Amino acid sequence: MGLPLIPDMFSTGKSAHGCGHAVQTVSQGTRTMATDYITSSTENSGVSIRTNTYSDRISLETDTATRKEVIISAGTYGSPAVLLRSGIGSKQEVEKLGIQSQVDLPGVGKNLMDHLVVLSFYEVSKPALTNGHLIWHLGGKDKSLADSPLWNSAPRTKGLDPMGLSPTQPQVEFWNTECYSPRYMFRDFPPDGKYAFAMATEFFAPRSRGYHPAGTCKMGRPDDPLAVLDENLKVRGITGLRVADASVMPFLVEGHPQMPVYGIAEKAADLIISGK
């Protein structure tokens, strides 16, 4: 296809124009995840982990959230939702939902940013195997599944790929949601000069179009009307309440946000320890 191979697409801080491998946090065959922060340090640390627990809202007394601090890390979608259900957000919007307004912060839930993901599918003129490496890794798994009574008794279906459907299959109905499903899907690539304006409008609309949403509780200057947090990740107008996740980003980084989110968490810990 004529695209240059870029060994490291995400460390330069600039958009990489080319193709490359997805970076993984793997060292000596072991994958490292954010949960390693918890599983490796909770013993004798005073941290209590509650599973199957849902955080709906924060109980506020006057202008204080708790005796010490509450840190919300529910993600780009979850953190603003918790704030809004707690009455922290646009006064007009929360009261419209029957929620008593506690702090009027119009920026809560706004400023959603995401990396644009556009997928193109191609048919090769000469048949070729592009996933041959899987043969070496899945052989043992297939054998173990074949020996399992549960696997043998489970109903199986070939399934359908939406990209492979045609108008001659009227019994198939597409079901999708506004947030998570593709708005436009073409079996054949759109011809030149067709749909370009409509597609560009949808692609760059202020919605999530990829896997890296950010910015819905952004940090900002006091004179920024959409700023939810100050420079110490504290929610404006509330004592003892912070947010620490990708939602705090004023701007989305051009590379993968995983490491920046780790950095936000580390910085939040330093701020809490220092009392800032």
> Does 188 fall in a domain?
yes
Last residue of a domain, one of 169, 189, 210: 210
In the chain, the percentage of residues whose pLDDT exceeds 90 is: 33
Residues 166 and 176 in one domain: yes
Statement to judge: residues 105 and 224 lie in one domain: yes
- Residues 70, 187 within the same domain: no
In a shared domain, residues 183 and 222: no
Please give the distance of CA 177 from its chain centroid, rounded to a whole number. 16
CA distances from 62 to 71, 96, 102 (A): 18, 22, 9
Are 218 and 270 within one domain?
A: yes
pLDDT of 208: 57
Please answer whether residues 7 and 18 qualify as being in contact, where contact means their C-beta atoms are separated by less than 8 angstroms: no
Q: In the chain, how many domains are there?
A: 2
Report if residue 17 sits inside a domain: no
The candidate with the shortest Cα–Cα distance to 99, out of 86, 110, 108, is 86
Decide if 71 is inside a domain. yes
152-175 confidence digits (pLDDT tens) = 565 656 566 665 666 666 555 555
Residue 151, in any domain of the structure: no
Residue 13 lies in a domain: no
Report which listed range, 23-32, 145-154, 156-165, 247-256, is most confident. 247-256
Domain end point (choices 170, 193, 210): 210
Specify if 92 maps to a domain. yes
Predicted pLDDT of residue 103: 94
**What's the Cα-to-Cα distance from 15 to each of 8, 21, 79, 211, rounded to whole Å?**
11, 15, 28, 16
How much is the pLDDT for 184? 53
In the three-class reduction of DSSP (H, G, I as helix; E, B as strand; rest coil), residue 113 is classed as strand
The residue ranking higher by pLDDT, 245 or 165, is: 245
**Residue 201 reports pLDDT greater than 90:** no
pLDDT of residue 18: 80
Please give the residue that has the higher pLDDT: either 4 or 149: 4
**Do 73 and 194 belong to one domain?**
no
Residue 65 has pLDDT above 80, yes or no: no
Q: 206 and 220: one domain?
A: no
Helices (H), the chain: 36-39, 75-85, 91-96, 133-146, 149-153, 196-203, 258-274
**pLDDT band per the 50, 70, 90 thresholds, residue 228:** very high
178 inside domain: yes
Q: At 259, which CATH number? A: 3.50.50.60
pLDDT at 217 over 70: yes
Q: Are 70 and 58 in contact (CB under 8 A)?
A: yes
Domain boundary among 167, 187, 210: 210
Q: Please report the pLDDT score of residue 216 as a whole number.
A: 95
Report phi then psi at 205, rounded to 5.
Answer: -70, 155
pTM of the predicted model as reported, rounded to 2 decimal places:
0.70
Chain-centroid distance, C-alpha 87: 24
Please check whether residue 11 lies inside any domain of the structure: no
Q: How many CB atoms lie within 10 A of CB 83?
A: 29
**Tokens 């793997």 -> residue:** 26
Q: Check whether residue 235 and residue 183 sit in a common domain.
A: no
Query: For the ranges 208-217, 247-256, 258-267, which has the lowest average pLDDT?
Result: 208-217
Q: Average pLDDT, whole number, for the chain?
A: 77
pLDDT at 96 over 80: yes
Range of the domain at 245: 55-114+212-274
Looking up tokens 């918890």 gives 38
Same domain, residue pair 80 and 202? no
Q: Are residues 219 and 269 in the same domain?
A: yes
* Whether residue 109 is found in the same domain as residue 216: yes
Same domain, 240 and 264: yes
Please, what's the b/e burial string for 192-213 (b: 16 or more CB within 10 A of its CB; e: otherwise)?
A: eeeeeeeeeeeeeeeebbeebb
